[in-house]
């Protein structure tokens, strides 16, 4: 039986950011780095893979560890982290995994006969004389590899440009030989970093990191994280190695620029860096990206949204939602876990994660414990938003909360709308469920749950019930 798909698309206790999605055969595979719950730096884990049937993208399967960080000869002691990877099918039909370790400027490659098997170290991208890409005089350090193979050509996209850093020029592309390692054509720059974007179409949205490449029809889409970090932008060209024109923002993990349900300059989630790409699943296209949890930068989770192309190939920016890969709104009945919140904010606006005054999605236990996520640190004015639900005959709502807090949770269908229900809660150190009447006409709704009162509460779930 097909499962509903929602955000995050993996279990709430899994932290796989930097998602690169592909359809191989009849399954969708997602490759990414591997954060830990309560991690203290980015990308602390080995590479793992998850996959789902292309016709059932809510039914994800854990494929296991596909590449341990100690497999690289430069990292036998495991002291370096595996940063964001990408995968491509080489001319020989094998699957090639490209990645960068956190303290070296070179690109490593591993290979496997299947999409999610055990990858084995293959070598380092290098020039014909054996010098590794990133170590030749004049090379800029390699970072965040994205790859595209067409016939016998493999294009490698890399780069990192800190804001204002004139030593980093922009995103670069390198052509590799059939062996998937040897540089056939040296790096060329295709999108400028912030230090070189002034006066160009990229100004304000210059390249920062996270290069990714996809082809739709005859158009190449270069997806990247911009200088503001929370947004994934794109540029297009009719060739893979030059002439890219800025297109716009596809998604922001704080929903900046979106004005469909709130003011464009109002952040409604706590964002930070972003990384992902687009993919066609069935006859629909999606953008994969990540969100930040636990009030830090270091416990990120994968999300996805359906995107649409205009007649000229442009991609209008999409909202963050709770329904993600579902192909439509979620069922507006029954219990829904609070970690599905796509909006999280207070009366103090913030586009970036961090701060003791903000609510956060977290879990009990340690990394790897299969504990369902919930929203914690809910103080006065904290709001959690959930979008969207197809409701029929709903007459009551229940919430499950705990914490030393005394106040009221108000339910709205718009972030600034009138309350349609109010639920008073009391101090408790265990999960308690409270119910209220809620008259709701049939239709598709968002739900915004706002706390007003004293103390610090947590929210485990809300339940929509018929009359």
Q: Can you spell out the DSSP letters for 374-408?
A: EEEEE-TT-EEEEEEEEESSEEEEEEEEEESEEEE
Rg for the chain (alpha carbons), in Å?
A: 23
Take residue 416 and report the two structure tokens written for it.
């600034």
Q: Are 7 and 31 in contact (CB under 8 A)?
A: no
- 416 assigned to active site: no
- 231 assigned to active site: no
Nearest alpha-carbon partner for 149 in 92, 106, 101: 92
Count of Cβ atoms closer than 10 Å to residue 314 Cβ:
12
Which is catalytic among the residues 18, 20, 255, 410?
18
Give the separation between CA 461 and CA 305, rounded to whole angstroms: 22
Strands (E), 256-404: 277-281, 284-292, 300-307, 330-331, 334-337, 343-345, 360-362, 374-378, 383-391, 394-403
Residues whose CB is less than 8 angstroms from the CB of residue 263 and which lie 6 or more positions away in sequence, other chains included: none
Tokens 């830990």 map to which residue?
36
Count of Cβ atoms closer than 10 Å to residue 225 Cβ:
25
Nearest alpha-carbon partner for 345 in 234, 258, 450, 244: 450
Tokens 């469909």 map to which residue?
260
Give the separation between CA 389 and CA 308, rounded to whole angstroms: 21
Strands (E), 100-182: 108-112, 120-124, 146-150, 153-158, 170-176
Which is catalytic among the residues 209, 255, 305, 319?
209
Give the separation between CA 104 and CA 90, rounded to whole angstroms: 25
Count of Cβ atoms closer than 10 Å to residue 29 Cβ:
21
Neighbour-count burial for 398-407, b at 16+ CB within 10 Å, e otherwise = bbbbbbebeb
Give the CA angle between residues 86, 88, 93 to the nearest 5°: 150
Q: Are 230 and 271 in contact (CB under 8 A)?
A: yes
| Cα 280 from chain centroid (whole Å) | 16
Active-site residue set? 18, 209
């Amino acid at each position: 039986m097909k499962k509903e798909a929602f955000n995050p698309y993996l279990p709430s206790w899994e932290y796989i950011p930097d998602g690169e999605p592909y359809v191989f055969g009849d399954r969708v595979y997602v490759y990414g780095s591997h954060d830990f719950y309560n991690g203290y730096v980015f990308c602390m884990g080995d590479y793992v893979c998850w996959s789902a049937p292309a016709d059932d993208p809510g039914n994800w399967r854990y494929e296991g560890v596909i590449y341990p960080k100690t497999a690289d000869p430069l990292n036998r002691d495991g002291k370096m982290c595996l940063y964001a990877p990408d995968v491509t099918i080489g001319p020989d039909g094998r699957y090639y995994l490209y990645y960068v370790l956190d303290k070296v400027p070179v690109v490593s490659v591993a290979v496997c006969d299947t999409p999610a098997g055990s990858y084995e170290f293959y070598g380092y991208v290098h020039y014909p004389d054996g010098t590794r890409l990133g170590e030749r005089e004049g090379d800029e350090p390699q970072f965040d590899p994205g790859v595209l193979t067409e016939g016998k050509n493999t294009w490698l996209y890399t780069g990192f440009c800190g804001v204002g850093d004139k030593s980093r020029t922009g995103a670069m592309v390198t052509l590799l030989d059939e062996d998937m390692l040897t540089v056939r054509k040296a790096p060329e720059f295709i999108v400028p970093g912030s230090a070189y974007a002034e006066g160009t179409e990229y100004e304000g949205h210059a390249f920062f990191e996270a290069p990714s490449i996809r082809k739709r029809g005859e158009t190449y889409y270069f997806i990247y994280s911009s200088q503001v970090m929370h947004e994934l932008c794109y540029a297009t060209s009719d060739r893979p190695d030059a002439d890219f024109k800025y297109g716009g923002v596809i998604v922001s993990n704080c929903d900046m620029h979106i004005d469909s349900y709130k003011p464009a300059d109002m952040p409604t989630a706590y964002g930070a860096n972003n990384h992902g790409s687009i993919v066609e699943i069935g006859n629909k296209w999606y953008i994969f990206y990540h969100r930040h949890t636990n009030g830090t930068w270091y416990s990120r989770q994968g999300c996805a949204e359906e995107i649409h192309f205009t007649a000229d190939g442009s991609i209008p920016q999409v909202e963050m939602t709770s329904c993600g890969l579902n192909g439509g709104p979620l069922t507006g009945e029954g219990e829904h876990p609070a970690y599905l919140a796509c909006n999280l904010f207070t009366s103090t606006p913030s586009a970036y994660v961090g701060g003791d005054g903000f609510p956060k999605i977290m879990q009990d236990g340690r990394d790897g414990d299969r504990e369902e996520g919930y929203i914690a640190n809910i103080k006065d004015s904290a709001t959690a938003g959930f979008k969207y639900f197809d409701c029929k005959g709903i007459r009551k709502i229940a919430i499950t909360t705990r914490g030393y807090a005394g106040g009221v949770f108000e339910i709205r269908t718009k972030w600034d709308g009138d309350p349609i229900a109010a639920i008073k809660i009391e101090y408790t150190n265990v999960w308690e469920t409270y119910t209220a009447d809620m008259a709701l006409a049939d239709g598709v709704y968002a739900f915004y749950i706002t706390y007003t009162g004293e103390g610090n509460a947590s929210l485990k779930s809300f339940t929509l019930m018929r009359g």
